Structure 1
Amino acid sequence: MPLITNRYGKGRVRVMRVHREGERHDVSQLDIKVMLEGEFARTFTHADNSLTVSTDTIKNIVNVVARENTGLSPEDFCQVLAQKYLDTYPQVASVSVSSHETRWKRLSFDDKPHPHSFVLDGNGRPTVEVAVKRGGPISISSGIDNFAFMKSTQSGWENYVKDGYTTIPPTNDRICATSMVATWKWSGKPADYPTTNARILGTLLEVFATTYSWSVQDSLYRMGEAALAAVPEISEINMACPNMHFILMNLSAFGLDNNNQVFLPTDEPHGQIECTVAREYGAV
């Protein structure tokens, strides 16, 4: 029976590129699919793999090209990537490269763009919860659900417990990213709820973006302190932050360094950091 068509490749190749120009960083998070067509029919019909490129190799080339082209737009990057396969493997007749971008929008404070801190575009859902007891007080909480933010430097993880089960190395320069669920409890009515909610979120982001993070725990506590100081009408704030991990790719096998420029985005498993900061002990 004839083999009518065939192609193969690698999908869901996730890559985060960080383009560094001095203090300014630009980030590009892509989900890449590469499909090859060419002289591969005998792999299907005759168990002959002699001309077939491993799909793991296809993935490695994505990371190599990412390291060599950190500043290209997704359109230009995909063109360069496709040409790389044609230049490397004469048995490849055609290449299809598709990408989906996770867009990160640069944060600004006092109308000044921040060099290395971002929020996810089209991000988060505002929440409200009201509890009322007959004859009793009304409890009102506002918040934000799944609000993602990130900085590409000024974060570390050092001086933690190390034992026979520890494999993660210490670092003082890493991507720090999370998708936060936060709620704050109102003890008084503000002049305007939307404006005050925006001030709380802005305060949380400014502390995160503009101060060094010794850990997510360290940042969360200081963010909570600052929100309570900025808005006297709230009595407590609760934050739950799963880590969005970006794993530094080891490109030494290809003769390339990686100065925090190419990462593998992954969300499972993730660290889960939670805390509540209140004005008074026992107020929670």
Structure 2
Amino acid sequence: MPLIRSTYGKGRVRIMRVKRDTERHEARELNVTVLLTGAFDASYTSDDNSSVIATDSIKNIVNIVARDNVGAETEPFAAALATYFLDRYAHVTQVDVTATETKWVRIAVDGVPHEHSFVLDSNGNPFVKLAATREGVSVTSGIKGFTFMKTTNSGWENYWFDEATTLKPTADRMCATAMDASWRWAKAPASYPEANAAVLATVLKVFATTYSPSVQNTMYLMGEAVLAAVPEIAEISMACPNKHYLPIDLSPFGRSSDGQVFTPTDEPHGQIECTVGRG
């Protein structure tokens, strides 16, 4: 029976590019699928794999092209990726690239867009929990999955070392989280929408403008600042799972990541939680 058509490739290649040649960083996160069509029929109809470009190699090429095109918008990046395959592999007749962007927008601090701190576009799911009895009412507001990131001004050093420790310390890393937070009201504010907006604005300002020696310390500082900014809040609880961006080792390909090309991953993640109250 004839093989009518075929294609193959690599899917869900997640790549974060950070253009950081100036103080104003540009962050671009993509989920990339590359499919190749060409002279690959023998790998389907027989045991001949001689023409097949390994899907792991396809993933490596996505990383290589990302490093060589750190500042490119998505469309030129996809074109450069397709060109890489067509220029190097004569037996590839068609390259299909799908690149889906995770959109990050700059955090505004006092109305000014920040240089290296970002918030996820269309971000978070606000919620309210109310418990009422004849004796009284307890109101808690919050948000789930509120996602923000900065490309520098974060580190992780001087932690416990023993035989299980393999993580290397660093004074300059990306820091990102999808925060679940809730804040319990001691009394009603003049405006719940305005007070809730002040909570998030305060969290982002602290995150963007302070060096983070740990997620733990940053969370505590955010909690302190929220209680100072919104006096009607009795306490705030936060859970901040790490969204990791792992530097890609491009040395086998004669390139350095230079803190600009990363693999995004959130599995497994560090889960850090705390509650800050007025005592």
Query: For residues 16-43 of structure 1, what are the alpha-carbon distances to aligned partners after superposition, in whole Å with 9 as ceiling and x for unaligned?
Result: 0001131111111100000111111111
TM-score (norm 2): 0.98
- The match for 1:241 is 240
Offset of residue 91 of structure 1: 1.2
Alignment partner, residue 257 of structure 1: 256
Equivalent residue, structure 2, for 1:225: 224
CA distance in 1, matches of 2:4, 2:194: 62
* 2:113 is equivalent to residue 113 of structure 1: yes
CA distance in structure 1 between the partners assigned to 2:91 and 2:126 by the alignment: 53
Alignment partner, residue 63 of structure 1: 63
Partners of 1:125 and 1:45 lie apart in 2 by: 50
Q: Distance in 1 between matches of 2:201 and 2:256?
A: 36
- Aligned pair 1:10/2:10, yes or no? yes
- Measure the CA separation in 2 of the matches of 1:38 and 1:245: 36
Q: Distance in 2 between matches of 1:128 and 1:7?
A: 48
What's the offset of the Cα at 1:205? 0.7
Structure 2 match to 1:212: 211
Code of the residue aligned with 1:99 in structure 2: it is A
Partner of 1:272: 271
Residue 24 of structure 1 aligns to a residue in which SS? coil
**Structure 2 counterpart of 1:201:** 200
Find the residue that maps to 2:179 and give its secondary structure. strand
CA apart distance, 1:140: 0.8
Report deviation, 1:108. 1.1
Q: CA deviation at 1:278?
A: 0.5
**Distance of 1:210 and 1:121 partners within structure 2:** 20
Q: Secondary structure at the match of 1:21?
A: coil
5 Å-filtered alignment, 1:60-209, equals 60-134=60-134, 136-209=135-208
Aligned mates of 1:71, 1:87 — CA distance in 2: 22
Instruction: Give me the whole-angstrom Cα distance separating, in 2, the residues matched to 1:133 and 1:205.
Output: 35
1:25 paired residue number: 25
CA RMSD, Structure 1 to Structure 2 (Å): 0.8
Per-residue CA deviation, residues 9-67 of structure 1 (Å, 9 max, x unaligned), is 00000000001131111111100000111111111112111111100000000000000
Return the offset for 1:132. Answer: 1.0
1:266 deviation in Å? 0.7
SS in 1 for 2:25: strand
Once residues 110 and 4 of structure 1 are traced to their aligned partners in structure 2, the CA distance between those partners, rounded to angstroms, is 60
How far the C-alpha of 1:111 sits from its partner, in A, is 2.0
Cα distance in 1 between the residues matched to 2:240 and 2:181: 8
Residue equivalent to 2:52: 52
* Alpha-carbon distance in 1 for matches of 2:58, 2:195: 50
Q: Once the two structures are superposed, what CA deviation does each residue of 1:165-193 show, in whole Å capped at 9, x if it has no partner?
A: 11111111111000001111111221111
Instruction: Classify the secondary structure of the residue corresponding to 2:202.
Output: helix
Number of matched residues? 279
TM superposition score normalised by structure 1: 0.97
Identical pairs, percent:
57
Shift of 1:87: 0.9
1:149, distance to aligned residue in structure 2 (A): 0.4
Instruction: For 2:251, give the aligned amino acid.
Output: S
Q: Could you tell me which residue of structure 2 aligns to residue 35 of structure 1?
A: 35
In structure 1, distance between residues paired with 2:204 and 2:66: 29
User: Matches of 2:52 and 2:21 in 1, distance apart?
Assistant: 39
Q: Work out the CA distance in 2 between the residues paired with 1:126 and 1:48.
A: 55
